[in-house]
């Protein structure tokens, strides 16, 4: 980065170098495979020998991906890191090194940026992710946060989107729709309760909001499936089931059929749907940011995968199957009728997003 533009205004409340020193001291990587972390012109790493690198990056723009009037710095940091961890989970990898670049508008304090990192590291530390560097710039308008996460995997232990075969079973971890319900509760988009006095319990509300703000990346599940070669393809659910299933189908040149009645719903999501007259299956199909894993499994591995699932700390539900590309993406409704799947996921640069 050319230094002329990269320095934060010293007249502002933040100065670039004290900020980096503070972040390095509190959150910087030491030891393990990081020979040099924050402090030199580039980080020096020694990855486990024979491993491949998996690299994922996300750019978050204020007003597009997060809103500082409704989310805390801690929550924004946690979720940004969780989204990247979830990408590594979907590839079956081990997350290892994190780079964080920021463009910070005037008016923010070092304490706020520290909270952002605290959130990121609270998502990453349980998985031993190490902060190894980044870049810091001022911004004329809005906060920008870029995370780059490197993971590693054995060459023959990698999950991709492209291996699904006709006849494979579709499985999903955890429950779906919770995050969208939580978002609607946070933003007031839930509407009024069906009847006066029908309201959601405090616990259910808290659960759904928590699922939106602090999703759990399914790393152990992804790694186990990869290691035992139990999945023919995998993706994490960031855009929503219908959108992400489309990605698997496109990459695998296949179609899929989802059985609506088998979509896993949490008790809180069902209560929410009842209180606010939402279709819980629609929430599950369209809702984004659940960060669960969607995987395809050959029928010959059905028993094995379901046996392994007992050791997961989340549910694993069979929700359909892969079919020929010609048959496309279809849904079996609760009444047994079959129809084409409507794809409802957020797309940037389109005049109108089809959901949210």
Closest to ligand ADP by CB, 36 or 160: 36
Minimal CB distance residue for ligand ADP: 133
What residues between 116 and 135 interact with ligand ADP by CB under 6 A? 133-135
Give the residue carrying structure tokens 């509190």.
26
What's the angle, vertex CA 56, arms to CA 60 and CA 64, rounded to 5? Answer: 15
Asked if 40 touches Mg ion (CB under 5 A), the answer is no
CA–CA distance, 299 with 220 (Å, rounded to integer): 22
Q: Closest distance between ligand ADP and the C-beta of residue 73, in Å?
A: 14
Strands 329-332 and 255-259: parallel
Q: Closest distance between ligand ADP and the C-beta of residue 145, in Å?
A: 9
Q: Which does 256 bind (CB under 5 to 8 A by kind): Mg ion, ligand ADP, none?
A: none
* Residue 341 near residue 249 (C-beta atoms within 8 A): no
Closest to ligand ADP by CB, 133 or 255: 133
Q: Which does 21 bind (CB under 5 to 8 A by kind): ligand ADP, Mg ion, none?
A: none
Give the residue carrying structure tokens 């939580």.
182
Asked if 1 touches Mg ion (CB under 5 A), the answer is yes
Q: Rounded to an integer, what is the distance from CA 257 to the centroid of its chain?
A: 24
Asked if 21 touches ligand ADP (CB under 6 A), the answer is no
What residues between 128 and 187 interact with ligand ADP by CB under 6 A? 133-136
Q: Closest distance between ligand ADP and the C-beta of residue 131, in Å?
A: 6
CA–CA distance, 94 with 104 (Å, rounded to integer): 30
> Count residues contacting Mg ion (CB under 5 A)?
2
CA–CA distance, 288 with 284 (Å, rounded to integer): 9
Minimal CB distance residue for Mg ion: 135
What residues between 34 and 63 interact with ligand ADP by CB under 6 A? 38-41
Which listed range, 60-68, 134-142, 232-240, 250-258, lies at the site for Mg ion (CB under 5 A)?
134-142
* Residue 256 near residue 165 (C-beta atoms within 8 A): no
Closest to ligand ADP by CB, 34 or 219: 34
Closest to ligand ADP by CB, 24 or 314: 24
Hey, which bits of the chain come out as E strands? 34-36, 44-45, 52-61, 94-105, 130-139, 144-153, 169-173, 233-236, 255-259, 293-297, 316-323, 329-332, 338-340
CB count within 10 Å of CB 178 equals 27
Residues forming contacts to Mg ion in the complex (CB under 5 A) are 1, 135
Residues forming contacts to ligand ADP in the complex (CB under 6 A) are 1, 20, 23, 38-41, 100, 102, 133-136
């Amino acid at each position: 980065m050319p230094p002329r533009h990269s320095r934060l205004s010293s007249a502002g409340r933040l100065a670039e170098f004290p900020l980096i020193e503070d972040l390095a001291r509190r959150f910087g990587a030491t030891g393990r495979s990081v020979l040099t972390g924050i402090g030199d012109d580039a980080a020096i790493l020694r990855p486990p020998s024979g491993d491949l690198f998996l690299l994922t990056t996300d750019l978050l723009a204020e007003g597009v991906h997060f809103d500082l009037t409704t989310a805390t710095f801690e929550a924004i940091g946690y979720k940004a890191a969780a989204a990247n961890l979830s990408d590594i989970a979907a590839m079956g990898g081990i997350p290892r090194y994190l780079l964080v670049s920021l463009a910070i508008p005037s008016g923010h304090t070092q304490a706020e940026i520290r909270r952002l990192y605290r959130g990121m590291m609270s998502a990453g530390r349980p998985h031993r992710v190490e902060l190894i560097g980044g870049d810091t710039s001022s911004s004329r308008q809005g906060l920008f946060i870029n995370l780059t996460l490197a993971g590693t995997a054995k060459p023959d232990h990698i999950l991709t989107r492209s291996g699904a075969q006709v006849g494979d079973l579709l499985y999903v971890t955890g429950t779906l729709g919770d995050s969208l319900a939580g978002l609607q509760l946070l933003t007031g988009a839930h509407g009024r309760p069906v009847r006066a006095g029908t309201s959601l319990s405090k616990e259910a509300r808290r659960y759904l909001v928590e699922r939106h703000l602090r999703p759990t990346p399914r790393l152990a599940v992804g790694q186990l499936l990869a290691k035992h070669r139990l999945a023919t393809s995998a993706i994490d659910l960031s855009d929503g089931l219908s959108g992400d299933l489309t990605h698997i189908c496109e990459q695998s040149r296949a179609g899929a059929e989802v059985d609506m009645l088998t979509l896993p719903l949490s008790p809180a999501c069902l209560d929410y749907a009842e209180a606010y007259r939402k279709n819980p299956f629609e929430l599950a199909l369209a809702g984004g940011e659940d960060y669960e894993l969607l995987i395809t499994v050959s029928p010959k591995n059905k028993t094995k995968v379901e046996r392994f699932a007992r050791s997961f700390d989340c549910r694993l539900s069979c929700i359909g199957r892969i079919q020929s590309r010609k048959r496309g993406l279809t849904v079996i409704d609760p009444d047994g009728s079959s129809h084409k799947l409507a794809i409802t996921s957020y797309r940037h640069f389109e005049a109108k997003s089809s959901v949210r």
